[in-house]
């Protein structure tokens, strides 16, 4: 295990609520508990608890599986073992067997099931044809496997803007799966659970966002709408280039936030700061 990975794991544990979660889940072993059961036992708001669970899952210490409409959380003992191994691998001049009974503190290795420690991020715009599609493609690249990117709109267009798709292809992005879709696809019981929902336009045609549950951290990063720009072909290309740069800069900050050490309120504040940057001229 690399020291940076170990540091992220220990940082994720350095919070009282998360320690309580880990102790409670460890007591249940592989059976795990649902989010509702955890909230009841720890007397925490579901929205607060889901954020902490996401941080532990991102650090590889908790795993989640879907059982019908419920999400079951369990300790990922392999992650805990890795942290202990990192601490003790140099013990007693390379003789960890002399360091006591640390190995007996954890249950025997168990098969892991359907673990997905990546954060799910949904980008919203009215037509899901330019800004949100571009953000989806960029995050899939800069997220380095730690983020799953999605995009949708309140009134999706038939297809993404040709200039946007051409720009993404030129820069080497995989655009085969990019298409315009309704945000309704992300509201059902079988939809992926979102950790973040970020709107990229000023107003979604006067509509209210649907209910994505109390799990996601929400933010608004208003950016210029290329559909409203009526310049020459060269001017439009320049505008698309600038828009790509603005989105990429925001997302590079986003993916490098210290998620393991931030609570929900602190993370919301950091996302709002990125939104304020988006309102300023590039």
Rounded Cα distance, 182 and 162, in Å: 19
Residues 124, 252 within the same domain = yes
162 and 87 inside one domain: no
Q: Which residues of the chain have pLDDT under 50?
A: 103, 107, 110-116, 279-282
In whole angstroms, what is the distance from residue 13 CA to residue 39 CA? 18
Residue 204's pLDDT is 52
- Cβ–Cβ under 8 Å, residues 250 and 277: yes
Helix or strand holding residue 8 (H, E): helix 3-13
Number of domains in the chain: 2
Q: What is the CATH number of the domain that holds 163?
A: 3.40.50.2300
The whole-angstrom separation of Cα 179 and Cα 234 is 25
Residue 24 lies in a domain: yes
Whether residues 151 and 199 fall in one domain? yes
pLDDT for 280 equals 43
Same domain, 125 and 229: yes
97 in the same domain as 127 = no
Domain CATH for 61? 1.10.10.10
Q: Is residue 113 part of a domain?
A: no
Give the pLDDT score at 158. Answer: 94
Q: What is the model's pLDDT at position 202?
A: 66
In a domain, 86, yes or no: yes
pLDDT value of residue 116 = 44
Q: Domain check: are 162 and 188 in the same one?
A: yes
HSE of 178 in the Cβ direction (CA atoms, 13 Å)? 27
Contact in structure between 127 and 153 (CB atoms under 8 Å): yes
Domain stop point among 82, 105, 128: 105
For residues 56 and 183, membership in a common domain is answered with: no
Q: How far is CA 36 from CA 41, 71, 78, 182, 282, in A?
A: 9, 9, 25, 29, 43
pLDDT at 228: 85
112 domain residue, yes or no: no
Q: Which residues pair with 282 in a beta bridge?
A: none
pLDDT for the residue 168 = 96
User: Looking at the structure, do residues 100 and 212 belong to the same domain, yes or no?
Assistant: no
Give the span between the Cα atoms of 63 and 30, in whole angstroms.
10
Q: Contact at 8 Å (CB) between 161 and 203?
A: no
- Structure-token pair, residue 15: 């919070």
In a domain, 187, yes or no: yes
- Rounded to an integer, what distance in angstroms lies between the CA atom of residue 93 and that of residue 229? 67
The domain containing residue 8 runs over which residues? 3-105
Largest CA distance in the chain: 74
Note whether residue 114 is domain-resident.
no
Residue that finishes a domain, picked among 77, 105, 133: 105
**Domain boundary at 105, 134, 152, which?**
105
Tell me: do 86 and 145 sit in the same domain.
Answer: no
**CA 71, 73, 77: angle at the middle one, nearest 5?**
150
- For residue 262, give the 3-state DSSP assignment: coil
Per-residue pLDDT, 112: 45
pLDDT the model gives residue 189: 74
Is residue 172 assigned to a domain? yes
Co-location of 242 and 179 in the same domain: yes
Query: What pLDDT is attached to residue 110?
Result: 47
Query: Is residue 84 domain-shared with residue 166, that is, in the same domain?
Result: no
The pLDDT of residue 102 = 54
Nearest Cα to 193, choosing from 148, 142, 132, 258?
148
For residue 180, being part of any structural domain is answered with yes
Residues 78 and 124 in one domain: no
């Amino acid at each position: 295990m690399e020291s940076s990975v170990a540091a992220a794991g220990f940082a994720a544990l350095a919070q009282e609520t998360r320690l309580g979660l880990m102790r409670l889940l460890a007591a249940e072993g592989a059976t795990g508990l649902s989010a509702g059961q955890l909230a009841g036992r720890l007397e925490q708001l579901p929205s607060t608890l889901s954020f902490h669970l996401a941080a532990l899952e991102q650090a590889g210490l908790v795993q989640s599986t879907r059982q019908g409409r419920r999400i079951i959380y369990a300790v990922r003992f392999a992650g805990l073992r890795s942290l202990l191994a990192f601490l003790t691998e140099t013990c007693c001049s390379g003789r960890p067997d002399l360091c006591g009974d640390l190995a007996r503190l954890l249950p025997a290795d168990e098969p892991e099931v359907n673990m997905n420690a990546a954060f799910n991020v949904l980008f919203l715009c009215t037509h899901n044809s330019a800004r949100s599609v571009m953000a989806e493609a960029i995050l899939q690249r800069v997220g380095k496997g730690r983020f799953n990117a999605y995009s949708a709109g309140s009134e999706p267009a038939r297809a993404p803007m040709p200039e946007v798709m051409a720009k993404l292809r030129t820069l080497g992005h995989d655009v085969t799966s990019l298409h315009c879709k309704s945000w309704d696809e992300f509201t059902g019981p079988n939809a992926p659970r979102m950790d973040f929902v970020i709107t990229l336009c000023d107003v979604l045609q006067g509509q209210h966002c649907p209910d994505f549950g109390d799990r996601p951290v929400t933010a608004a990063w208003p950016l210029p709408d290329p559909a409203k720009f009526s310049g020459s072909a060269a001017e439009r290309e320049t505008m698309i280039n600038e828009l790509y740069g603005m989105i990429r800069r925001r997302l590079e900050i986003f993916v490098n936030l210290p998620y393991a050490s931030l609570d929900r309120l602190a993370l919301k504040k950091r996302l709002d700061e990125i939104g304020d940057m988006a309102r300023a001229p590039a």
